[in-house]
Amino acid sequence: MPSYSDDQGKSISLVKEIAKGGEGTIWQTNRSGYLAKTYHNPSNEQITKLELMVANPPPNPTAGMRHIAISWPTNLIKDNQGKWVGFLMPEIKNAKELVYVYHPTNRNKHAPEFNWYCLHIIAYNFASILREIHAKNYIIGDISVKNILVNGSSLVSLIDTDSFQVTDPKTQKVYYCSVGSEGFTPPELIGQTLSQLAQNRFHDRFRLAVIIHYLLFGSHPFMGKWTGSGNPPGQNDAISQGHWPYGINSLLKPSPNTIPLNVLHPKLGQCFTKCFNDGHQSPTSRPSPEDWVDALQVAINDLVVCSKNPNHINSQHFRRCYWCDRAKALSVDIFPAVKNPIAPQKISITPPPPPPVTIQQLQSQNQSLNQQLAQANTQLSTLQSNNQSLNQQLAQVNQKVSTLQSDNKSLSQDIQKLQSDNQSLNQQLATVSQNSHHTSQLSQQVQRLEIIKKIAITSTIISTIAATAFGGLSFLQYQERNQLIRQIEQIRRQNNLPSGRWDLSSYSLDKELENLGEMIEDEKPLVSRDLDELINKMQENKETSINELNQRISNLEAIKTDLENQNNSRKNRINELVNQNNSQQNRINELVNQNNSQQNRINELVNQNQSLQNRIKELEGETTTPGI
């Protein structure tokens, strides 16, 4: 027989083969209370995984009852060539597989003393075990009715723990659980390769609910009467599609043999619906082991005994014995009367005492805390550097904002100048409008002179001849002529023109004779000449004024357009600066928030640092305390 030894160098004998599978063999050993498992061809990864498990066992929630809740690897074993081949684990004695407890036929044959109260207790104990396993960051993965054992006191033991998913706390490397049982795989994992998949506690929560459903209802939750077309789906398809008897839009309905959900305490019913309804699409909604422990505690403390059959245990809220009604309706009693039935007892949750701490554990904790302290100091240094960088960025942004504000002020001054120029331009346009009105008056005067000219030619001839030849008979015409001359002089004065050749203020007979001589020679009279000269001059002034005004109007309109363009350009620039200012302000706020966040993180790390320092001092004190 080959010789073996454990990781402490102590000899081990493999006495008797108990079971053999594709992966390895289970042996009875010469060490009382321990079994061994040897692998046919162990890999380095399997051995490393076992080393991590041996170094980090989860707490035993039933240690105070001298009961082994988890058959956890305790030592590695190697052959006489020094090759690691397997491990030692506690032996679970006097216990049955779960299938002999929850299934009514098996229970009546192998464990008739277990009533509904006992099944609640078993569910409570299993949820407590899973709570401790998750607290140590382990994932069971392969939960099934075959790796859960129950003894006569309703205490639960979990076996086949070497298939758990294990995460190295230092490197975060994950050692996967490569196996799974049908009916216990959550919908999101169905069809996936488990050997290459990192699972999480929400997957285990689905499996936990299935186990508790088996215990309290005697069947898998995704079973019932199919109301859809065609054949009912298989178990995995039903899970994947969310068909359970109390699911939303489920085509599975409760059958006549199905125990109704409302028989349970409402808190337990809520846990099931939350897991299989809400948790179907949102795994994080599934109740945790702690949620089940709390709900089961309330439900257990609500159980009462039937007055007709003491082995019938019911929830008090149901107000009658469901098991009596069921036995009468189906002619089958799944909890028949027994001698000395187990009566429900109230339970209270008390945390188990902490296990004794060894010097090695304290030293390991101290080393871990020192590593955490070093990491915290590194993070603190990085955050301080980031904080300094943020302050520099903040100073740069403030400088940019100051420049933008200065540019904004300069633009505001430019706009005020443009507005002033625009006002001046409007005044000039008003002046042009007045000049234009003056030009209109000038045109009216020219038209008036044309009319005077026509009258003056006739009047002058008549009045001159009459005045010379007939004297007083033409006095009226003479006065009319002189009136025309005065009007001509008035127009000259209004337009700043010199007097004409015919001027009443320097009137003489020579002028009359000159005028008569001109007419005899068939020339124009002096008044007519003055009129022609005045009209031509007025026409020239009119055209010059109009051209000047048109040119001035064009110039002013061009200036106005240029000012408007400048004004619009300035406004656009102001809007651009305002947007830049707002953007910079947002950046400032963002940097301030980052700065505050970094400062909070620094404070947090400082507090954590102080806490770690205090813990290190405590551990150093503990390691020097005698008696450990």
Evaluate if residue 437 carries a pLDDT over 80: no
Tell me: the pLDDT tens digits for 376-417? 677 767 777 777 776 777 677 677 767 766 776 776 676 677
Evaluate if residue 537 carries a pLDDT over 80: no
pLDDT band at 527 (very low <50, low <70, confident <90, very high): low
Q: Give a three-class secondary structure readout of 254-276.
A: CCCCCCCHHHCCHHHHHHHHHHH
pLDDT band at 628 (very low <50, low <70, confident <90, very high): very low
Q: Please give the pLDDT value at position 626.
A: 35
More confident residue, 609 or 44: 44
**What's the whole-number average pLDDT of the chain?**
82
pLDDT band at 614 (very low <50, low <70, confident <90, very high): confident
On whether the CB atoms of residues 137 and 82 are closer than 8 A, the answer is no
Mean pLDDT across 142-158: 95
Counting every residue, how long is the chain? Answer: 628
| Backbone phi and psi for residue 112, each to the nearest 5 degrees, phi listed first | -65, -20
Q: Which residue, 589, 452, 465, is CA-closest to 527?
A: 452
Output DSSP code: residue 471. G
For residue 90, how many C-alpha atoms fall within 13 Å in the half-sphere facing its CB?
15
Q: Please give the pLDDT value at position 582.
A: 82
pLDDT band at 495 (very low <50, low <70, confident <90, very high): confident
Q: Which residue, 371, 539, 336, 325, is CA-closest to 447?
A: 539
On whether the CB atoms of residues 350 and 339 are closer than 8 A, the answer is no
Most confident region among 271-275, 374-378, 448-452, 489-493 by mean pLDDT: 271-275
Mean pLDDT across 556-571: 80
pLDDT band at 371 (very low <50, low <70, confident <90, very high): confident
Q: CA torsion angle for 293, 295, 297, 302 (degrees, to 10)?
A: -160
Q: Please give the pLDDT value at position 519.
A: 58
Evaluate if residue 468 carries a pLDDT over 80: no
DSSP 330-395: HS--SS---SSPPPP------PPPPPPPPHHHHHHHHHHHHHHHHHHHHHHHHHHHHHHHHHHHHH
CA distance 91 to 29: 10
How many CB atoms sit inside 10 A of residue 75's CB?
19
Evaluate if residue 158 carries a pLDDT over 70: yes
- Using CA atoms, how far residue 415 sits from 423, 573, 606, in Å, is 12, 11, 54
pLDDT band at 259 (very low <50, low <70, confident <90, very high): very high
Q: Which residue, 74, 3, 85, is CA-closest to 38?
A: 85
Q: Please give the pLDDT value at position 473.
A: 33
Q: Which of 118-122, 484-488, 576-580 has the lowest mean pLDDT?
A: 484-488
Q: Please give the pLDDT value at position 463.
A: 43
Give residue 219's identity as a one-letter amino acid code. S
CA distance 202 to 186: 9
Mean pLDDT across 445-460: 54
- What the block records as the tokens of 58 is 């989860």
Q: Which of 92-101, 113-122, 496-505 has the lowest mean pLDDT?
A: 496-505
Give the 3-state secondary structure percentages of the chain, helix then strand then coil, rounded to 5: 60, 10, 30
Evaluate if residue 132 carries a pLDDT over 80: yes
Cα angle for residues 565, 571, 572 (degrees, 5° grid): 90
Evaluate if residue 56 carries a pLDDT over 70: yes
Mean pLDDT across 561-587: 80
H helices then E strands: how many in the chain?
A: 14, 16
Tell me: the pLDDT tens digits for 215-255? 999 999 999 999 998 899 999 999 999 999 998 889 999 99
DSSP 3-state of 222: coil
* pTM for this model (two decimals): 0.58
- 93-131 CB burial, b ≥16 within 10 A, e <16: eebbbbebbbbeebbeeebeebbbbbbbbbbbbbbbbbb
Q: Which residue, 144, 14, 152, 140, is CA-closest to 88?
A: 14
| Backbone phi and psi for residue 285, each to the nearest 5 degrees, phi listed first | -80, -10
